[in-house]
Amino acid sequence: MNALAARRRHPAAIALLLMLALVVTGGLYAAFAPKPAAAAAVTADQVEQGKALFQSNCASCHGLNAEGNETEVGDLKAFGPSLVGSGAAAVHFQMETGRMPLASAGVQAPRVNKVKFEETEIEAIAAYVASLGPGPARPDEEWLDWEGQGDAGRGGTIYRSNCAMCHSSAAVGGALTRGKYAPTLAGVEEVHIYEAMLTGPQNMPVFNDMNLTPEDKRDVIAYVKQMQETGNPGGLGLGGYGPASEGMFAWIFGLGIMIGAAVWLGQKGA
């Protein structure tokens, strides 16, 4: 202790302390920083196959090496973002919901029910994109098990303060600016809901694991799924648009049948 105290003003001491602080900070960061989930066993073959598929199907917009591409012809601007760091989850979400490859230029890529690729092909492209740089990987099964482990009540609270302002409290979607929109969540698979939160496709913000933990995401999925399972206990749901469709219904059908009844009764003399 004395020896250490005697050398505390040694010129090297400050450098040593600095080194120590850096090691500690770095070590703590490495220990606690969110890690991209390890990609499922990916073979070199898969990456090769994915690259080939990518170059023939995606490269026209995203560039031959997924570095992104912007072309301008007159007023038309085509923009394919760089996919370095997008991760397997983004590829999986975009392609499995039919959004990519983009069918036509528009304000945003719509969900298309007819998926254009086989599952194995999508896996391969995802593996290729994941190999370009670290990015969010596909979620573990554990985080999708909303039926077994999800807490819908908690998920609803998270949903209302984070999701409802765009997707609406009934999860039927809503309008954004300039023709863009938040799509409905009806019929969306749990894995895609999870991946959408994780990667923030199109206009959606990213809800990474620091914002919403995997448990939070699972609870949100549980809420959305539970709500959809309940359906409409009151009868026809009128699209879930609330007073908008109710008002129209009252004016068109409600008033229509009331006037019909009045005319019918008015014709009945004594």
Partner 1 sequence: MSETTVSRPADGLRAGDVPVERRPSGAAKRVGGVAGWVDDRTGSAKGVNYLLRKVFPDHWSFMLGEVAMYSMIICLLTGAFLTFWFVPSMGQIEYQGSYIPMQGVIMSEAYASTLNISFDIKGGLLIRQIHHWAALMFIVSVSVHMMRVFFTGAFRKPRELNWVIGTVLALLAIVEGFAGYSLPDDLLSGTGLRAMQGFILTVPVIGSYIAYALFGADFPGELIIPRLYSAHVLLIPAILIALFTAHIILVAVQKHTQFPGPGRTNDNVVGYRVMPVYAAKAGGFFFIVFGLTALISAFVQINAVWVHGPYDPSAVTAGAQPDWYMWFSDGALRLLPGWIEFTLFGFTFSPNIALGSIVLLPLVYTVLGAYPFVERWITGDTREHHLLDRPRNAPVRTALGVAAISIYTVLALACVNDIIAIKMGLAINDLTIFFRIALFVLPVIMFWVTKRICLSLQRQDRDKVLHGRETGTIVRTPEGKFYERHEDLDEHTRWELVDFESHAPVQISPTVDANGVARKGAGKDRLRAALSHFYFKDRVEPVTPAELAAAHHDGHGHEEIEAGSSEHARIESGQH
Q: Which of 100, 137, 182, 220 binds partner 1 (CB under 8 A)?
A: 182
Give least dist CB 110 to partner 1, A: 10
- How far, CA to CA in Å, does 46 sit from each of 55, 83, 120, 129, 138? 14, 18, 9, 11, 16
- Site size toward partner 1 (CB under 8 A) is 64
235 lies in the binding site for partner 1 (CB under 8 A): yes
Question: Is 17 buried (19+), middle (13-18) or exposed (0-12) by CB count in 10 A?
Answer: exposed
Give least dist CB 103 to partner 1, A: 15
Residues 97-136 that bind partner 1 (CB under 8 A): 107
Whole-angstrom distance, CA of residue 36 vs CA of residue 80? 24
Q: Considering the complex, state which of residue 117 and residue 241 has its C-beta at the smaller distance from partner 1.
A: 241
Burial 31-64 (b: 16+ CB within 10 A, else e): eeeeebbebeebeeebbebbbebbbebbbebbbe
Longest dimension (CA), the chain: 120
Q: Which of 39, 164, 204, 215 binds partner 1 (CB under 8 A)?
A: 164
Give least dist CB 231 to partner 1, A: 10
Q: Which of 74, 148, 187, 233 binds partner 1 (CB under 8 A)?
A: 233
148 lies in the binding site for partner 1 (CB under 8 A): no
Give least dist CB 158 to partner 1, A: 10
Q: Which of 82, 108, 133, 181 binds partner 1 (CB under 8 A)?
A: 181
Sign of CA dihedral 10, 13, 15, 16: positive
Span near partner 1 by CB under 8 A; candidates 2-10, 60-68, 111-119, 163-171: 163-171
Total residue count of the chain as it appears in this document: 270
Hey, is 99 helix, strand or coil?
coil
